[in-house]
Copies of this chain bind each other. A is one copy, B any other.
Amino acid sequence: MSERQQFGNADEAEHSAMQWEVEQKFRLSDVQKVAAKLTELGVRFTEASQQTDRYFNHPARDFAKTDEALRLRQVGEENFITYKGPKIDPDTKTRRELELPLPHGKHIPEQFAELLAALGFRPVAIVQKKRRRGELLWEGHDVEVALDEVEGLGSFVELEITADDLTLDAAKSALKALSRRLGLGPSERRSYLELLLAGKS
């Protein structure tokens, strides 16, 4: 769950409502089974899109220790740069997130990686995944569903509800009920980056 300031485009810059992402992720041993249950519940999955995330460490502080992240994300021709601040509340995983669009094009991430390198940022890891997305109405909440096949890590499902202060508790309960219905659990709290780095050491 994270407080997100997301700027989809320039005209949305004024938008800064207090929103929360209630999010849970689960490792899957049988993707087809979970995909079938979700389809039963009405989810229609998109085609898989390739997402490449390049993570960087800061020239003067260790993001692993400060609990921050800087990421270049490529999804097809689209590109984004994302900063994640430290979790303000470890329990709810509240954190600041700034995601900005970069120009389209397949060489853009390389070019920004070069810029970041010139500024002293060090590449940490590349997370590559194939993601299929879907949506589900569950207990009155719009749930975003993602089936991820992560290179070097395996398969996961992510469930996410965007809530405000008033709907936060209900969203948490709804997510819990949905994960039970799908036979999922326990949830994986670590990020893909953390899992990849843990696997390396």
A residues neighboring B (CB under 8 Å): 7, 9-11, 13, 58-61, 70, 81, 83, 85, 96, 98, 100-108, 110-112, 114-115, 118-120
Per the bound structure, the CA–CA distance linking A3 and B83 in Å amounts to 31
Q: Check A119–B10 contact: CB distance below 8 A.
A: no
Residues of B within 8 A of A119 (CB): 58, 70, 83
Candidates B61, B83, B115; contact of A115 at CB < 8 Å = B83
Q: Check A10–B108 contact: CB distance below 8 A.
A: yes
**Given A110-B13, A119-B70, A120-B60: A103 in contact with B103 (beta carbons within 8 A):** yes
A118: min CB distance to chain B, Å: 5
Per the bound structure, the CA–CA distance linking A59 and B70 in Å amounts to 15
Main secondary structure of the interface of A (DSSP, over half): mixed
Q: Residue on B with the closest CB to A7?
A: B111
User: How many copies make up the complex?
Assistant: 2
Residues of B within 8 A of A61 (CB): 59, 120
Q: A10-B107, A98-B118 are in contact. List 8 more A-B contacts (CB 8 A).
A: A10-B103, A10-B108, A11-B105, A13-B110, A58-B119, A70-B119, A100-B111, A101-B103
Residues of B within 8 A of A13 (CB): 107, 110-111
Per the bound structure, the CA–CA distance linking A101 and B112 in Å amounts to 10
Residues of B within 8 A of A9 (CB): 103, 105
A-B interface, 4 closest residue pairs, ranked by CB to CB distance from nearest: A10-B105, A60-B60, A13-B107, A10-B107
Per the bound structure, the CA–CA distance linking A111 and B96 in Å amounts to 14
A99: min CB distance to chain B, Å: 9
Residues of B within 8 A of A118 (CB): 83, 85, 96, 98
Residues of B within 8 A of A112 (CB): 100
Per the bound structure, the CA–CA distance linking A59 and B112 in Å amounts to 18
Residues of B within 8 A of A120 (CB): 58, 60-61
Per the bound structure, the CA–CA distance linking A96 and B10 in Å amounts to 30
A47: min CB distance to chain B, Å: 23
